[in-house]
Every structure is written in structure tokens, then in C-alpha cells.
Structure 1
Amino acid sequence: MEIKKVAELGGHRSGIYKISKGPGESNVITLGGDGQVVEWDLKEPKNGILRAKSDYKFFTGCYSPAVDACFAGDMNGSLYRLFFDPEKGEPKAWKTHEKGTFCIVDLGEILISGGGDGTLTLWKTDPFFPLETRTIAGDRIRSLVLDEKRELLYAGSSDGNIYLVEPNKLKVVDVCEDAHKSTVFSLLLTGSDILISGGRDAMIHFWKLPEMNLEHAIPAHLFTVNDLALSPCGNWFASAGRDKEVRIWNSRTGKLLRVIDRLKDEGHINSVNSIFWDTQSGLLCTAGDDRMVKIWQIN
């Protein structure tokens, strides 16, 4: 496996907590502790565009094609709707969580957010307002992923559990208890009836669906596994670690294929907080506490 760094992007004034798909075929967005939302074009990545600025740290965010807007969650527990085209409307925010909004999943006409108080909120995207908020856990909800095949939402919590939730009712139908020894920071569906989770315990776990049977338990990083991303071909996935490394794995066997580190590859010098694997270009985008976005070509 050959890995080449094709770009290194700066501009944020604090750590970057989220990188995800943006508007257009080749665009991504980043959200950071400086309260900035920045849009980047992977075809011409050197010049980022500042799209929004807040007084609060942004912990998470996503672009919703259904309404052509960015939704961003902050440390105050609010969710913002931000139009990149000012003519479409002013920014709007609602606060439904306490202790921060940490994760969002986009379902088109609705969104679901997870908060630091163990709650989920169901949102209408246009017009933008909260429909319902329910407590599902006794600790923070740190990760969400939607299983369209089974019409289930998986929610990872700081109590170490993974909650199986009916997305339209926010009703917990099952709990995978003690999925990790501590916080479940990241969740990923591979498309092959496998749910992959990453935790504060530095472990990656493979769960066979629908039974949620543990297939593999892999000591993955030296510290927290912050994020997971699946390659466009589906054969690999990447993990981002607090140990400053990005690791590439076989998505079926869990075999480690490659490590992207600071010394050998000029990788990140601090915690890698978020990763995004672009389906159009095949480029892997990574972002972290060093305030940098790094873009990698993987062959």
C-alpha cells in the first residue's frame, strides 16, 4: 500500500474536531474549536472559504443536500443551521442538549443529534426546529450511525454501551452493554453486516449484525480511537487516534495494513480527531488538534 500526502491545509485557529462531506462533488467542510466552519475544494485545496463563525466551539457538523445547508453542533448544546448562500436565509440555532452537541446523523428531511446529557433530539430540517428530545443514556452520546437496512440507529455513549434505537421514535430497542471499557467515540458500518466501534480504551471492536456478537477485539492505538472512515471500495477502513496516528485496516479481517505517522509520513503532530474518505476522488482527509487538514492519496 502506497500513501502520498498531496496537501496540507491551515487556517483554523484551534483544533479541528470534525471533517465531513461538503456541497459539490469535491468539497469538504471542517469545524473547529475556534467556532469556524471552513469549506475546502479537494481539487484546489489551498484556499479554504470561511463559511460561518461562532463564539462557541463546534464539536460536530454535517452538510445536508436536502436543504443545501450545514448543521453544526457546539459546546453549548445548540444545533445551528447555516446556509452557505446568505440569500437562502439567516443562521438559526436551537438548544436542546446540555454539556455539548457531539454528533449528528443526516436522514434527509430530518436529523438526529446526540448530546452531552445522554439525550437524542429529532429535528426537522426545513423549516428548522426540534421535534422531540429523549434521554437514552446516563452519560454523553458521542457517536451515531444509521443502519438503513435494519432501520436502526446505533448510538455510542460515554458509559461504554452501544444503544440500538428506532430513529423515528427515539425508542431504545436493545443495548449492547460494556461494548467498550469507556467511551464509544466512533461507529462505522461496513456494508457487510459488520458494525465497527472505536473507544477511549484504544480498542477497535467488530460486531456481527444483527446479533451484536463480538467478532474481533483489536488493540488499535496507544490512546483513544477518535474516528473511523470506510474506503470508497469498502475493502479498507481508517482509524484516527489520540496517539497522533492514522491507521489503515482490512475491513473484513481487521488486519493492520499501514500506519500514517509524524516521522515517516509527515503526519499530524497532535491528536487526530476526525477523518473523511472521499468517494469521488478516493482521497483520505484527516484533521486534528494541530489545526491542520492533511490530504492523502492511497494506492
Structure 2
Amino acid sequence: MLVQKIDTFGGHRDSVYTLEHGLTPEQFFSSGGDGQVVRWQLDRPDRGELVATVPASVYALGLHRDSGLLWVGQNYDGVHLIDVLQKREVASLKLTSSAIFDIKFYRNDAFVALGDGVVVVLDTREVAVKKHLKASDMAARCVAINPVEREVAVGYSDHSVRIFDLGTYELKRVIPAHTNSVFALLYAPDFRHMISAGRDAHLKVWDVEASYALHQDVVAHLFAINHLTYSPDGTLFATASMDKSIKIWDAATYKLLKVVDRARHAGHGTSVNKLLWTDSNRQLLSASDDRTISVWSLT
């Protein structure tokens, strides 16, 4: 595998915590500690465009495809819905006095993971609260949706993953998954397995069809794993870590294929917080505490 750094996007004044797809394959959004939400064009790294600013750090962005609105999770406040074409806020909802760590959509529901352990289910049409899922006193850090089994998985700072019914929101299962906070969850493209990762630096693969039995346990990084993402064709997945590296894995065997770091590829010099695999030439994006976003080509 050949890894090449294509571009670096700079301009944020603080750590970049989150990335999200744009309205076209060539676009993406970023945000972070400076509260700025920026739209970028992959072919024009010098043309970042500010679409919104909020007065607190942003850990979570979610593009709602049906409406075309970008949901911005403002820490210690709530969600802001941004019309990115008009660059204006069209709705907002105060939810919390704690951090907002993740936003995921399924049909007309938005699942918002909060630092106080609550997952708020919102009606995307009314921008109104439908349900509070309170299953832990520790932070809800990440959310993954399985439409095949009609389940939603949530990773928590109490080291567990909880599985809820996607229709009734009932708690179905508690998995004592890790020895520390769970920061990342991802279902495989065929939804037969779920991968979890977090502060203990382990990748754990769970067999969904076997009642989430542990399928594989990989010591994957030196420090916390912050995020996971699959390639568009589902053959690879990538992990981002506090150890400053990105690792590329075979999605079928969970074998390590490539380490992308500063020494070998002019990678990030600080924690890598978020990844985004684009549909444009299969380019992989990485966001870091070093205030930059890197663009990688894998061939």
C-alpha cells in the first residue's frame, strides 16, 4: 500500500475535533475548539469558507441529508441547525449543560450523545425531544446505528457499550467492552460485526449475530483510539489515535496494513482526533490537535 499526503488544510485557531461530509463529494466540514464551522473544497485547500461560529468547542457535526441542514453540537448548550448554503441558523435547541460528543441520524430521529450520560432522541422534522435515554451516569461518547437489526449502540465512559432498540428505545443489552472509556463505535458495512475502541487502545470486534460475542481483541495503538472509519468500498478501515498516528486495517481480517505517522509520512505531530473517508478519489481526511486537517491518498 502506498500512502501519500496530498494536502494540508489550515486556518482553525484551536484543535480540530470533528469532520463531516459535505453536500457534494468534493466538500467537507470541520469544527473544533475555536467554535468555527468551516466548509472546504478538497481541490482548494486555500479556500476555506466560514459557515457558522458558536461560542464554545464543537465535538460533533452531523449532516442531515434529507433537509441538507448541518447539525452543530455546541458544548454546554445544545444543537444548532445551519443552512450551509445561506450560512444562517434556522433552528436551535438547548439540551444540556455538559459536552455534546456525537450526533447520528436514522430516518426522522437524531441521537445526540451527552457528557452527562444521556442520549437525547430528537425528532428531526420538529426539532423536538422525543426521548431521553439515561442508562449511565458517565458520559455517552459515541453512537452507531444498525438498521438491519434495528439497534443503536452507544459507547460510554463507564467502559461499556449499550444496545438499544431502534424503534422502542428499550435497553436490550449491556456489553462490558473495555477497561476504560469507549470513544469509537462502528458497524461493519454488512452489519454482522461491530468494532469498538477507546482509551485502552484496544480494537474489539463483536459478532452481532452471536449476541455480540467477542470475536477479536487487537492491541492497536500506544494510546487512546479516538475514532474509526471504513473506506467507501468497505475493504479497509482506519483508526486515529492520541499516539499521533493513523493506522489502516484490512476490514476482513483485522490485520494491520499501514502506519501513517510523522516520521514516515509527514503526519500529525499531536493527537489525531477524527477521520473522514471521502467519496472523492477515496481520499482519507484526518483532523488533529495541531489545528490542521491532512488529506491522504491510499493506493
Q: TM-score, normalised by structure 2?
A: 0.95
| Contact 2:61 2:70 survives alignment (8 Å) | yes
Q: How many Å separate the matches in 2 of 1:171 and 1:79?
A: 24
2:104 matched residue in structure 1: 105
Amino acid at match of 1:53: T
Map 1:170-209; keep pairs closer than 5 Å: 170-177=169-176, 179-192=177-190, 193-209=192-208
1:65 aligns with 2:65: yes
Q: How many Å separate the matches in 1 of 2:74 and 2:132?
A: 17
- Alpha-carbon spacing, 1:85–1:141, altered in 2? closer, same or farther (3 Å): same
> What does the per-residue CA deviation read over 1:164-183, in whole Å, with 9 as the maximum and x for residues that have no partner?
01234332111112x01011
| Contact 1:65 1:108 survives alignment (8 Å) | no
SS state at 2:275 partner: strand
Q: How many Å separate the matches in 2 of 1:264 and 1:250?
A: 20
Q: How many Å separate the matches in 1 of 2:215 and 2:263?
A: 33
Please identify, of 20-29 and 89-98, the stretch whose mean Cα deviation from structure 2 is larger: 89-98
1:155 aligns with 2:161: no
1:123 matched residue in structure 2: 122
* Offset at residue 209 of structure 1 (A): 1.0
2:41 matched residue in structure 1: 41
Amino acid at match of 1:279: D
Q: How many Å separate the matches in 1 of 2:231 and 2:120?
A: 29
* Offset at residue 64 of structure 1 (A): 1.1
Q: How many Å separate the matches in 2 of 1:100 and 1:63?
A: 19
Amino acid at match of 1:295: V
Amino acid at match of 2:134: T
Q: How many Å separate the matches in 1 of 2:231 and 2:54?
A: 32
| Contact 1:104 1:111 survives alignment (8 Å) | yes
* Offset at residue 91 of structure 1 (A): 4.1
1:262 aligns with 2:251: no
1:95 matched residue in structure 2: 94
SS state at 2:203 partner: strand
- Alpha-carbon spacing, 1:291–1:279, altered in 2? closer, same or farther (3 Å): same
| Contact 1:240 1:274 survives alignment (8 Å) | yes
Structure 1 spans left out of the alignment, 5+ residues: none
- Alpha-carbon spacing, 1:167–1:206, altered in 2? closer, same or farther (3 Å): same
1:27 aligns with 2:27: yes
Please identify, of 96-105 and 285-294, the stretch whose mean Cα deviation from structure 2 is larger: 96-105
* Offset at residue 72 of structure 1 (A): 1.2
Amino acid at match of 1:115: L
- Alpha-carbon spacing, 1:233–1:86, altered in 2? closer, same or farther (3 Å): closer
- Alpha-carbon spacing, 1:112–1:278, altered in 2? closer, same or farther (3 Å): same
1:249 aligns with 2:211: no
| Contact 1:77 1:116 survives alignment (8 Å) | no
* Offset at residue 251 of structure 1 (A): 1.2
* RMSD of aligned alpha carbons: 1.4
Aligned pairs, how many? 297
| Contact 2:25 2:279 survives alignment (8 Å) | no
* Offset at residue 77 of structure 1 (A): 4.3
Q: TM-score, normalised by structure 1?
A: 0.95
| Contact 1:186 1:228 survives alignment (8 Å) | yes
SS state at 1:263 partner: helix
Q: How many Å separate the matches in 2 of 1:155 and 1:73?
A: 17
Amino acid at match of 2:115: G
| Contact 1:122 1:131 survives alignment (8 Å) | yes
> What does the per-residue CA deviation read over 1:28-57, in whole Å, with 9 as the maximum and x for residues that have no partner?
111111001111111333311111001111
Q: How many Å separate the matches in 2 of 1:246 and 1:26?
A: 22
SS state at 1:45 partner: strand
User: Following superposition, which runs of at least 4 residues in structure 1 exceed 3 angstroms of deviation?
Assistant: none
